[in-house]
């Protein structure tokens, strides 16, 4: 309805009030009296309460403006749809809107712990980036960093964790609860760069950096067991900072459970205020860095095994269930890739697994083919109905594949969903080193699209001719041209590199 100021009401006929110029039930303005029709051309100054005309002067023409606005919006949507289909979308890792598969760099991690001696950072939940990452919504990525000669206060977490040591050396001590009897067994394991170690949910553990001059850095894959996508740490040690779980209990409960006095409890749980990662003396470090345990599952060093794929262009190391049994029930493989500068990992895809990758060192780029492109401000261009069903309109006009391209620098985290063809390229100046947690790894295979053992080479000649519409000899000449596999020359070193002027579009 129209809202009319008191001054205007003084000269308007009573029969004219009220009326609506933008009814939802009719395509024409519903004037309340014949007098209103005769005054339709009069410049009556009325305020439209419907808001269709922006709350300004209304002459009964806001319906016309509304229709015009809807028509313009339809034209914009149609134009946008055409542009999306015809354009190749490019993204820079450190600016603008990142594609769904590029989670971000160091700035995307949130500090859970930050002291003078170290930090623990956790990557935001993957679902906050895009609903397309639903398949890994119950996984989190975290980074642990501790200065030389430091001690991380004992804790347990409601999550399974896989550690991969990226720098330094230290000791991880686990206080395991034996299954056969209610008995706690202490296991201490020395760790170094390349080591993989699993920490079970609920296991109390603490970490020591026993190096004199090097930081200890660990990348962790975390799988919550209580609340999907969320996990918490429960500190056994501590006092005021970090807060110990003991301190939260009522005094009367602790007095009875520990059979001690309140004064001793207050003294015990009120002293620690230095934080979760603290400095330790040389003597204390020495006392906790004795002989490693021979019992229990030992850490597995990924970099000490023979590479699964290797040539002068790069190396790929894979830790599977046979290498480290602790990975089996989590259905995860851990890989380390070193791509020599100027080289690339030839286009490939994983048949079932989703790969969570993090750049440890170097610079480069990657390209990925995806039909599900999405960003922070728009959902997938190929929209799906509820529960994933597809409409007839979608079946007839499927979206074209889109190329996702992003630069890679130290700390960048990116996701390669199952089935998505991807190529990773190292810069001309530096080797590119990548750690990867391969989720849902059981029975997944890495399929290469180019190189000596590519899938096209395995087709019959008739299948090649029918697939590409050209003679099979041309197909064999193109796909049989590379004698290397997995790692090949990068675009900058290719013998068939396009001239600069042609590449630049001239």
Half-sphere exposure of 262 (CA within 13 A, CB side): 5
Q: Is the pLDDT of residue 83 over 90?
A: no
103/109 Cα distance (integer angstroms): 10
* Choice between 333 and 72, residue whose per-residue pLDDT is larger: 333
**pLDDT score of 45:** 41
- Residue whose entry in the numeric block shows the structure tokens 């791509």: 339
pLDDT-derived band of residue 108, with 50, 70 and 90 as boundaries?
confident
pLDDT-derived band of residue 74, with 50, 70 and 90 as boundaries?
low
Q: What average pLDDT does range 215-226 have in this prediction?
A: 97
pLDDT-derived band of residue 479, with 50, 70 and 90 as boundaries?
very high
**pLDDT score of 73:** 73
Residues whose CB falls within 8 Å of the CB of residue 102, separated by 6 or more in sequence, listed in order:
91, 93, 404, 406, 412, 413, 414, 415
147/119 Cα distance (integer angstroms): 9
Q: Is the pLDDT of residue 5 over 80?
A: no
**pLDDT score of 61:** 55
**pLDDT score of 444:** 96
CB 153 within 8 A of CB 238: yes
Q: What average pLDDT does range 313-329 have in this prediction?
A: 96
Residue 409, sorted as left (phi over 0), alpha (psi -120 to 50) or beta, turns out to be: beta
- In this prediction the pTM is 0.75
170/277 Cα distance (integer angstroms): 14
Describe the crossing of helices 461-468 and 472-479 by its angle, rounded to 10 degrees: 90
Mean confidence (pLDDT) of the chain: 80
375/373 Cα distance (integer angstroms): 7
Span 431-474, pLDDT tens digits? 999 999 999 999 999 999 998 889 999 999 999 999 999 999 99
Q: What average pLDDT does range 263-276 have in this prediction?
A: 89
pLDDT-derived band of residue 496, with 50, 70 and 90 as boundaries?
low
Q: Is the pLDDT of residue 3 over 90?
A: no
* Choice between 15 and 159, residue whose per-residue pLDDT is larger: 159
Span 114-157, pLDDT tens digits? 999 999 999 999 888 877 788 899 999 999 999 999 999 999 99
Q: How is the beta sheet containing 300-301 ordered, strand by strand?
A: 109-115, 118-123, 140-146, 216-224, 159-167, 195-199, 300-301
Other beta carbons less than 10 A from residue 413's beta carbon:
22
Percent of the chain exceeding pLDDT 70 equals 73
pLDDT-derived band of residue 490, with 50, 70 and 90 as boundaries?
very high
**pLDDT score of 202:** 95
* Choice between 101 and 256, residue whose per-residue pLDDT is larger: 256
- Residue 64 sits at φ, ψ, to 5 deg, of -65, -40
- Of the listed ranges 301-315, 372-386, 415-429, the one predicted with least confidence: 372-386
Span 170-204, pLDDT tens digits? 999 999 887 666 788 899 999 999 999 999 999 99
136/357 Cα distance (integer angstroms): 13
187/205 Cα distance (integer angstroms): 9
Domains in the chain, CATH or no CATH each: 2-86 (no CATH), 110-288 (2.60.120.10), 302-381+400-493 (2.60.120.10)
**Nearest-10 Cα torsion for 487, 491, 497, 498:** 150
Locate the DSSP E strands across 87-215: 102-104, 109-115, 118-123, 140-146, 150-157, 159-167, 169-177, 184-192, 195-199, 204-209
Residues whose CB falls within 8 Å of the CB of residue 50, separated by 6 or more in sequence, listed in order:
1, 20, 21, 22, 62
- Decide: residue 133, CB within 10 A, 0-12 exposed, 13-18 middle, 19+ buried: buried
Residues whose CB falls within 8 Å of the CB of residue 75, separated by 6 or more in sequence, listed in order:
none
pLDDT-derived band of residue 34, with 50, 70 and 90 as boundaries?
very low
485/256 Cα distance (integer angstroms): 67
**pLDDT score of 133:** 85
CB 414 within 8 A of CB 424: no
**pLDDT score of 180:** 62
Question: At 240, is the secondary structure helix, strand, or coil?
Answer: coil
pLDDT-derived band of residue 296, with 50, 70 and 90 as boundaries?
confident
Spacing of C-alpha 438 from chain mean position: 13
**pLDDT score of 10:** 44
**pLDDT score of 473:** 93
- Of the listed ranges 22-26, 185-189, 414-418, the one predicted with least confidence: 22-26
* Choice between 101 and 352, residue whose per-residue pLDDT is larger: 352
Q: What average pLDDT does range 343-363 have in this prediction?
A: 96
């Amino acid at each position: 309805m129209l809202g009319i100021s008191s001054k205007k009401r003084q000269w308007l006929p009573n029969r004219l009030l009220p009326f609506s110029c933008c009814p939802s039930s009719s395509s024409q303005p519903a004037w309340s009296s014949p007098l209103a029709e005769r005054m339709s051309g009069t410049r009556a100054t009325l305020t439209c309460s419907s808001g269709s005309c922006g709350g300004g002067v209304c002459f009964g023409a806001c319906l016309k403006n509304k229709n015009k606005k809807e028509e313009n919006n339809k034209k914009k949507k149609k134009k946008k749809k055409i542009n999306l289909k015809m354009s190749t979308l490019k993204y820079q890792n450190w600016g603008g809107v990142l594609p769904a598969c590029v989670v971000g760099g160091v700035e995307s991690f949130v500090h859970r712990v930050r002291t003078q001696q170290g930090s623990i950072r956790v990557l935001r939940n993957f679902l906050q980036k895009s609903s397309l990452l639903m398949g890994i919504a119950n996984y989190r990525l975290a980074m642990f960093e501790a200065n030389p000669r430091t001690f991380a206060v004992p804790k347990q977490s409601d999550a399974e964790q896989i550690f991969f040591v990226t720098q330094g050396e230290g000791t991880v001590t686990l206080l395991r609860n034996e299954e056969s009897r209610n008995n706690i067994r202490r296991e201490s394991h020395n760790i170094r760069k390349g080591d993989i170690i699993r920490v079970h949910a609920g296991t109390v553990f603490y970490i020591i950096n026993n190096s004199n001059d090097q930081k200890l850095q660990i990348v962790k894959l975390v799988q919550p067991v209580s609340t999907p996508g969320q996990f918490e740490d429960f500190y056994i040690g501590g006092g005021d900072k970090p807060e110990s779980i003991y301190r939260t209990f009522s005094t009367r409960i602790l007095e009875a459970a520990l059979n001690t006095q309140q004064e001793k409890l207050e003294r015990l749980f009120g002293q620690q205020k230095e934080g979760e990662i603290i400095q330790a003396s040389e003597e204390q470090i020495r006392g906790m860095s004795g002989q490693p345990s021979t019992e229990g599952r030992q850490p597995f060093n990924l970099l000490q095994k023979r590479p699964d794929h290797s040539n002068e262009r790069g190396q790929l190391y894979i830790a599977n269930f046979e290498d480290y049994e602790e990975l089996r029930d989590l259905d995860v493989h851990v890989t380390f890739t070193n791509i020599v500068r100027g080289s690339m990992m030839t286009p490939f895809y994983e048949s079932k697994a989703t790969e969570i990758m993090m750049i440890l060192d170097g610079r480069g780029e990657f390209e990925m083919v995806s039909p599900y492109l999405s960003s922070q401000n728009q959902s997938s261009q190929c929209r799906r109905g509820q529960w994933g069903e597809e409409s007839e309109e979608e079946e007839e006009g499927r979206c074209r594949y889109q190329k996702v391209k992003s630069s890679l620098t130290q700390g960048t985290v990116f996701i390669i969903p199952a089935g998505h063809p991807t190529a990773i390229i190292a810069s001309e100046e530096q080797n590119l080193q990548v750690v990867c947690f391969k989720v849902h790894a059981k029975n997944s295979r890495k399929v290469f699209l180019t190189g000596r053992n590519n899938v096209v080479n395995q087709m019959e000649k008739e299948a090649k001719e029918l697939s590409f519409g050209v003679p099979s000899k041309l197909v064999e000449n193109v796909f049989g041209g590379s004698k290397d596999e997995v790692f090949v020359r990068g675009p900058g070193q290719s013998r068939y590199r396009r001239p600069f002027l042609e590449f630049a579009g001239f």
